[in-house]
Chains A and B, each alone.
Chain A
């Protein structure tokens, strides 16, 4: 007779004890770590580093090489780490920064700047005109970042002495001064002692590997920690030539995440004090209802376009394009799909200097749209010409806009095939007219503070084949006018020409101007006194985050 082997209770109990011990060990370790590492309570007189740190989330960790970084986070970091010759103001003008004054030759080709004395880089080196020349040469040689602002115009840069720098241009560029807000001045000596191997001849990698995690600037903040996949921390530079402000944050942390759950948890526990701009409007609304929190909507120099392909049927017909323009329900998009955004008025964002104030916002007018579509040679055969509409899958809300568009177009007999496309495929397809769709929805931002930036990016012949133009506008007159505008020094005269260009583009119905983009963020006004949220934004990428001008109340931090 065999006896069945039964598990015995004592074995099970021992194993349960083992599990309990493991769990207890984990909890004890966590508790000990918490006790050992927790920050001091807010009643302590000595503020912890965490309490003195303004933390903000961004889509990515900044790339702080001044010749490479140009996205939002990078631009925000660069304006704090480096100084520029001139500085932008909220009304679109510029004021002296490193340059105390300047003069322009009568030909408009020679710019001479006088550099202020006594400016030192973060390592103590004195800033000279030679550093400015080096920074421009490095930018032009590398050809990345904001180099495109200068490559077509700058002939050479010469340091006449320690305090005088001369730029000679190939052709007059009326916006050269404005563009100089993107020339960040590096310490030549420091960069040249950190050269790695690279493709720039005797300059190796031009210091780009080192400059990814270090700075060589003279700005009001300096880098103390940088991890390209997680975060970067900068600290105030106490020897800054313009002094430090009493209430500016001592430290600022750039956290490279826009994962909604993470941002919500961080903001709710006040571990970040300003959210990134990539959260859903409903998320921002929810976060701003937390005690002490508030929502801010900041205008930007970006506009959302539905770019209409003027070389492909049926959007190659102006009546179809005009009918589409009047069939779209803009109010629904602005209020429901992208709440917080503003109605657009023509080819350039309304906040930009040089925007034509006579161009109105567009409203849905179905009666007019139905009349216009009847004028089209495609009328009666529209079912044979469905339009392809691309939306970029990285921005889910764009799908809702596409559905709204398709629904509105159905009312005038146009069939819309909506296609969600990854960004890389969008870029690849827009490189060729035959693979470009009829319509694609994309946001485009100005690179400098003038509508000319948008006009060059969007409607000049040179931007054909890039993701910034699906219109395939083959209009030499408009291209020439845009090129001509950039040579006019007189602002009033230039604006007049810019107005005419905008009118011409507007009258061709080349794009549907869906809305002006705004940035909705949640922040804690009791901790952060932020000029951009207080109604004084500088709608130029990065310049809403000049930290020495932002008040920070560390004692209000948990």
Chain B
């Protein structure tokens, strides 16, 4: 099966998955207890205002009709009004998603930069003290919840040593850079505000690291296992026997096959961060999409809930598809299996 056919098939599966997800989330959001219009407007709002909102949201229509209104609105830029922010959900998405993406990208970079060397060195130095140290560090990273790590980092490096800021995206002395992408670091660099960019990076480090620690510990362990397995395989032995330099064996022949299982987990970890980051965003008062999603759930903000879950789902599906394609590209045997 060619890479193009394989990729097309994966994309089709993704569309079907997203459709199923949208139906599921839509129905679940609708069956939650409580009248969303009354909840949005408060107990003192006039009945006329509540009735107007019910009509505006088509809450009296049958579920399939409500779904049709919603899905057709998605493609015309009308994602519905958030019951909490009282504006089109797409405006909320535009405002809050970049903040989480910035956090997520930084966490993904930290994750990759630390997980690969840790896994590789632990695997290559199997059963030595180095391996044991990495193992203990990994277990701690896996076992300790991210919010505990976040609080510890905040109290030690933030409050205790004053090395990093305690909350927020920027210090009070700085103003948000002009909106281009919504990513503060990128926008600040593009507009030449390098002080603001540095300040934004400074604010990113603690929450990103707290978010990345758990996944990187897990991925380091997976990579380590793969390296151990592969370095005892025949092809490594053959390359060693032929006198290949150790660096070439490690970086070219050992790392590539060992990365396959780690890449799968890495992509899933990174894409799931968008849904899991709410505690980190809460602790660091980060104005992100994940926290927005949490507030939407607590307020039964129907349109916002659906938008958050569907966007998280889209990112998840994109990540999965990318992984499938990447792994298929790296290992032709997988493409053949899928092609039957």
Which of A's residues lie within 8 Å of B, judged by CB?
2-3, 5, 7-12, 14-16, 18-19, 22, 26, 29-34, 36-37, 39, 48-50, 53, 55, 63, 65, 68, 70, 142-148, 151, 196, 199, 205, 208-209, 212, 225, 227-231, 233, 251, 253, 255-257, 259, 261-262, 265-266, 268-269, 271, 424-425, 427-428, 431, 447, 466-468
Let me know if B246 and A265 touch, CB within 8 A.
no
Instruction: State the CA gap A148–B43 with chains docked (Å).
Output: 10
> What residues on B are CB-neighbors of A16 within 8 Å?
117, 121, 130
Give which listed residue, A9, A19, A36, A256, contacts B114 with CB less than 8 A: A19
> What residues on B are CB-neighbors of A8 within 8 Å?
124, 246
> What residues on B are CB-neighbors of A228 within 8 Å?
85, 92, 95, 287
Contact (A5, B151) CB under 8 Å given A19-B121, A225-B175, A255-B285: no
> What residues on B are CB-neighbors of A209 within 8 Å?
86-88, 91
Let me know if A2 and B45 touch, CB within 8 A.
no
Known: A29-B202, A70-B44, A259-B285. 9 other contacts (CB 8 A): A12-B125, A34-B202, A37-B174, A145-B42, A147-B45, A147-B49, A209-B91, A265-B158, A424-B300
Closest to B87 in A: A209
Indicate if B286 sits at the interface (CB-CB under 8 A): yes
Instruction: State the CA gap A227–B88 with chains docked (Å).
Output: 15
Let me know if A428 and B48 touch, CB within 8 A.
no
Q: Taking the nearest CB of chain B, how far is it from the CB of A522, in angstroms?
A: 15
> What residues on A are CB-neighbors of B295 within 8 Å?
229
Which 9 A-B pairs rank lowest in CB-CB distance, beginning with the nearest? A143-B49, A33-B202, A230-B287, A143-B46, A229-B287, A15-B121, A148-B44, A37-B199, A7-B124
A-B Cβ contacts below 8 A, count: 201
Give which listed residue, B172, B175, B237, contacts A253 with CB less than 8 A: B172
Let me know if A39 and B43 touch, CB within 8 A.
no
Closest to A227 in B: B287
- What are 21 A-B pairs at a CB distance below 8 A? A5-B231, A11-B247, A11-B250, A15-B120, A33-B198, A33-B199, A33-B202, A49-B172, A143-B41, A148-B46, A209-B86, A229-B288, A229-B291, A253-B172, A261-B283, A262-B166, A262-B284, A262-B285, A271-B167, A431-B35, A468-B43
Contact (A212, B85) CB under 8 Å given A12-B125, A229-B96, A259-B283: yes
Indicate if B272 sits at the interface (CB-CB under 8 A): no
Consensus secondary structure, chain B interface: helix
Instruction: State the CA gap A253–B172 with chains docked (Å).
Output: 9
Instruction: State the CA gap A7–B121 with chains docked (Å).
Output: 9
Give which listed residue, B56, B96, B126, B155, contacts A199 with CB less than 8 A: B56
Give which listed residue, B32, B86, B195, B283, contacts A208 with CB less than 8 A: B86
Q: Taking the nearest CB of chain A, how far is it from the CB of B4, in angstroms?
A: 36
Indicate if B18 sits at the interface (CB-CB under 8 A): no
Instruction: State the CA gap A208–B41 with chains docked (Å).
Output: 14
Closest to B162 in A: A269
Closest to B300 in A: A424
Indicate if B27 sits at the interface (CB-CB under 8 A): no
Residue of B56, B118, B201 with highest tally of chain A CB at under 10 A? B201
Q: Taking the nearest CB of chain B, how far is it from the CB of A342, in angstroms?
A: 26
Give which listed residue, B162, B167, B198, contacts A262 with CB less than 8 A: B167
Closest to B113 in A: A22
Let me know if B173 and A30 touch, CB within 8 A.
no
Q: Taking the nearest CB of chain B, how far is it from the CB of A278, in angstroms?
A: 14
Indicate if B22 sits at the interface (CB-CB under 8 A): no
Let me know if A34 and B44 touch, CB within 8 A.
no
Which of B's residues lie within 8 Å of A, judged by CB?
32-35, 38-39, 41-46, 48-49, 52, 56, 85-88, 91-92, 95-96, 99, 110, 113-114, 117-118, 120-121, 124-126, 128, 130, 151, 154-155, 158-159, 162-164, 166-169, 171-176, 195, 198-199, 201-202, 205, 231-232, 236-237, 240-241, 246-247, 250, 282-288, 291-292, 295, 298, 300
Instruction: State the CA gap A453–B188 with chains docked (Å).
Output: 50
> What residues on B are CB-neighbors of A424 within 8 Å?
32-34, 39, 298, 300
Give which listed residue, A63, A151, A428, contacts B46 with CB less than 8 A: A151
Residue of A55, A70, A208, A227 with highest tally of chain B CB at under 10 A? A227
Closest to A60 in B: B295
> What residues on B are CB-neighbors of A231 within 8 Å?
168, 285, 287
Contact (A22, B117) CB under 8 Å given A7-B231, A212-B87: yes
> What residues on A are CB-neighbors of B151 within 8 Å?
261
Q: Taking the nearest CB of chain A, how far is it from the CB of B90, in angstroms?
A: 11
> What residues on B are CB-neighbors of A265 within 8 Å?
154-155, 158-159, 166
Closest to B130 in A: A12
Instruction: State the CA gap A148–B50 with chains docked (Å).
Output: 13
Closest to A14 in B: B247
> What residues on A are CB-neighbors of B285 within 8 Å?
230-231, 255-257, 259, 262
Instruction: State the CA gap A33–B196 with chains docked (Å).
Output: 9
Q: Taking the nearest CB of chain A, how far is it from the CB of B151, in angstroms?
A: 5
> What residues on A are CB-neighbors of B171 within 8 Å?
37, 39, 50
Let me know if B231 and A34 touch, CB within 8 A.
no
Instruction: State the CA gap A428–B128 with chains docked (Å).
Output: 60
Closest to A208 in B: B86
Let me know if A50 and B117 touch, CB within 8 A.
no
Let me know if A271 and B166 touch, CB within 8 A.
yes
Give which listed residue, B130, B167, B237, B288, contacts A257 with CB less than 8 A: B167
> What residues on A are CB-neighbors of B250 within 8 Å?
11
Let me know if B124 and A11 touch, CB within 8 A.
yes
> What residues on A are CB-neighbors of B240 within 8 Å?
5
Instruction: State the CA gap A426–B171 with chains docked (Å).
Output: 40
> What residues on A are CB-neighbors of B236 within 8 Å?
5
Let me know if B172 and A36 touch, CB within 8 A.
no
Give which listed residue, B168, B175, B198, contacts A37 with CB less than 8 A: B198
Give which listed residue, B49, B92, B158, B195, contacts A144 with CB less than 8 A: B49
> What residues on A are CB-neighbors of B159 within 8 Å?
265, 268-269
> What residues on B are CB-neighbors of A7 within 8 Å?
124-126, 231
Contact (A26, B282) CB under 8 Å given A142-B49, A229-B288: no
Closest to B55 in A: A199
Instruction: State the CA gap A147–B52 with chains docked (Å).
Output: 15
Give which listed residue, A199, A233, A447, contacts B52 with CB less than 8 A: A199
Closest to B36 in A: A424
> What residues on B are CB-neighbors of A208 within 8 Å?
86-87
Let me know if B42 and A70 touch, CB within 8 A.
yes
> What residues on B are CB-neighbors of A55 within 8 Å?
172
Instruction: State the CA gap A309–B129 with chains docked (Å).
Output: 67
Let me know if B237 and A2 touch, CB within 8 A.
yes
> What residues on B are CB-neighbors of A22 within 8 Å?
113-114, 117
Contact (A12, B199) CB under 8 Å given A209-B88, A230-B168, A271-B166: no
> What residues on A are CB-neighbors of B85 within 8 Å?
212, 228
